[in-house]
Amino acid sequence: MQDLMVQDNLKKSKIDKSQLMKNLARYRQADLGKAVWQLVNTFIPYISIWILMIFMLNKGFPFWSILPLTLLNGLFLVRIFIFFHDCCHGSFLASAKANKIVGYITGVLTFTPFYLWRRSHNLHHATAGNLDQRGMGDVWTMTAEEYRNASRREKIGYRLYRNPFVLLVLGPIYSFFIKQRFVSKNTGKRERFSVILTNIVILGILTVAYFTIGLKTYLLIQIPIMIFGGIVGVWLFYVQHQYDGVYWAREDDWDSLKASLQGSSYYKLPAILQWFTGNIGIHHIHHMEPRIPNYRLQRCYDEMPVFQNIKPLTFSSSLASLRMNLWDEQRQKLISFSKIS
């Protein structure tokens, strides 16, 4: 099991959490040159592909002919979201103001309010793997006992939520197009303002599109890109904390070190996909130190053996995660619905 292997390796290396954090400190420094280059090598092709897709639609090319470009730009949008994610952690750039500006811009492009998402994501980092702190910024996960005691309606609702089509297709559509357009009554002023400002800018983009390229053209391009990018993004988030050997514990036993190294996967992807996903697959390091920018994660992994002891999760092995629906507290593992007794 991955969790036992991690514990054993930590004991052998004699690295405690405080020492580990000291070692990680040198990777936290933002690099303006690297950040700007990432923006350049992502936004230029993203905008260029958009222009090409507009040209093709205006020239009467059939919609299916632009689908490959849609998928490609969906991946670029995932990469843009990684920049947004880093800005929310204050790691992409050294300046807090610069992170905020880039965060708002990338947030608009991904239909995600900066401060609202930052708040929920920070809560996710603070509570990942804690069974008593579920429900904010994470994937809904029931324990086996909770499921056994649930009403028929609750069981049906949970099974629907865990259905791959609902979770990975309808879920992103609801989250990015609908949910993030609104705020709850208890939302703070800063979070509420970020939602309002993001919505106003999106409305402005729709208005400009209406008077220039045409609203239909804009929607035919933007919606498929958003849906594909959303599917990829939600899948990445899902598999980072839902896999065989993952760590969950009750409040009294919860340990932040274990939650990072055992509760976050090392999702080893092909080089090109690792580039598009901004190294987010090196998620165990990211949860250990969220202030490390995406462009330093690989170097951190290469130079610190303790992180290399984590068994990688490959794409083929990650598919099994779709069948892991409930946390069995007795067996300390995720199980499928078919294993519930």
The predicted pLDDT at position 136 comes to 78
Chain centroid to CA 71: 18
Is the pLDDT higher at 147 or at 10?
Answer: 147
pLDDT beyond 90 at 309: no
Bridge-partner residues for 143, per DSSP? 327
Three-class SS of residue 96? helix
Each residue's pLDDT tens digit, 253-299: 999 889 988 999 999 999 999 999 999 999 999 999 999 999 999 99
d(CA 318, CA 226): 23
Assign 15 a pLDDT band (cuts: 50, 70, 90).
low
User: What's the one-letter identity of residue 153?
Assistant: R
d(CA 234, CA 2): 23
Task: Give the domain ranges of the chain.
Answer: 2-339
Q: What angle do CA 106, 173, 247 make, to 5 degrees?
A: 80
d(CA 300, CA 23): 10
d(CA 21, CA 94): 19
pTM of the predicted model, to two decimals?
0.92
For tokens 């490609």, name the residue: 72
Instruction: Report the chain's mean pLDDT, rounded to a whole number.
Output: 92
Each residue's pLDDT tens digit, 84-131: 999 999 999 999 999 999 999 999 999 999 999 999 999 999 999 999
Whether the CA torsion 21, 278, 321, 270 is positive or negative: it is: negative
Please give the share of the chain, as a percent, with pLDDT higher than 90: 85
Assign 16 a pLDDT band (cuts: 50, 70, 90).
confident
State the DSSP H helix or E strand holding residue 47, giving kind and residue range, or none if neither. helix 32-58
